[in-house]
Amino acid sequence: MDLFLLICLLVFLLAAAGHEATAARPDVPWSQNYAILYGQDHTQSLNQGKEIQLSIDQVSGSGFRSLKTYGSGFFSMRIMLPPGDSTSIVTTFYLRSYTDNHDEIDFEFLGNSTPPYLLHTNIFTNGQGSREQRINLWFDPTKDFHDYHVLWNQRQVVWMVDGIPIRVFENKENIGVKFPVQAMQIEATMWTAAWASPDGKPPNWGQGPFRAYYQGFNIDGCVAQNNTIATDPCFGSNSWWNRKNYWKLNPMQLKAYLGVRKKYLVYDYCIHRPGSKPPECNRH
């Protein structure tokens, strides 16, 4: 096992120990916290509601959404992605608000005809996105379930894969950078996009229908009292994800995060986009 993977394993074990009380809770049925967003006939409940299959074909995609909105939290989903030639198929897990100028925190998995699978992340604040990053996943996400997390508090947003930080967006409102402050719902969807393919190819529908599987429907989030704006009750230390030890990455997490960027990062808007850089890139 190379040093990077060993560090990642240690980070994962420490994360699991730190969230022991959360992890020990039994899974709940999907219908307790979620409902179908679209594509009802392309959505299937499995294992007594402990697993959901989303599918997409030439007729329709599918998706589901949380019943409640949240103002902070540690949001998780276990996902197994479509195998085979899934060119231009996008499988997602994300948070978003529904306002004229919305906030959004994205995991978007971009299908391909050959490995590796690309993970595309983005963040919208006050309607402004275009903050894309992409990494190559270091495993085959079509063979088994993997854990994907979003930590969102008033200090930072952290995207994690199997407990390993792969992206951080710090609160830099002091230098004029907008930070997500709107109450958001959790969503998971499947759709197609030409931009998701390196060559702009359409989906290979002969390989379809394409199916993704989701598990882990507990939600560790602060339910928003206002469906539009995250308010003070969701910022307090009574929620473990708001406590000081979650304000920044610890040294081992930081080492693993830097290792991911060194080995697997293929695009970062702060590095690869031509022209002037957004202000947060100056302190990236």
Known catalytic residues are 104, 108
Query: What is the SS3 assignment for 128?
Result: strand
Q: Give, in degrees to the nearest 5, the angle at Cα 80 between 220 and 261.
A: 75
Neighbour-count burial of 21, counting CB atoms closer than 10 A to its CB (0-12 exposed, 13-18 middle, 19+ buried): exposed
Contacts of 218 (CB under 8 A, 6+ apart): 22, 25, 27, 28, 33, 76
Place of tokens 């925190």: 105
Q: Give, in degrees to the nearest 5, the angle at Cα 130 between 74 and 251.
A: 45
CA neighbours closer than 13 Å in the CB half-sphere of residue 242? 15
User: How distant is the alpha carbon of residue 90 from its chain centre?
Assistant: 13
Query: What is the SS3 assignment for 32?
Result: helix
Q: At 209, which amino acid appears? A: P
Q: Where are the beta strands (DSSP E) in the chain?
A: 34-38, 43-46, 51-56, 62-66, 70-80, 89-96, 104-110, 118-124, 133-136, 146-152, 156-161, 164-170, 185-192, 210-215, 220-223, 265-268
What distance, in Å, lies between the first and last C-alpha atoms of the chain? 30
Give CA–CA dist 32/66, Å, rounded: 9
- Determine which helix (DSSP H) or strand (DSSP E) holds 264, and give its type and residue range: helix 251-264
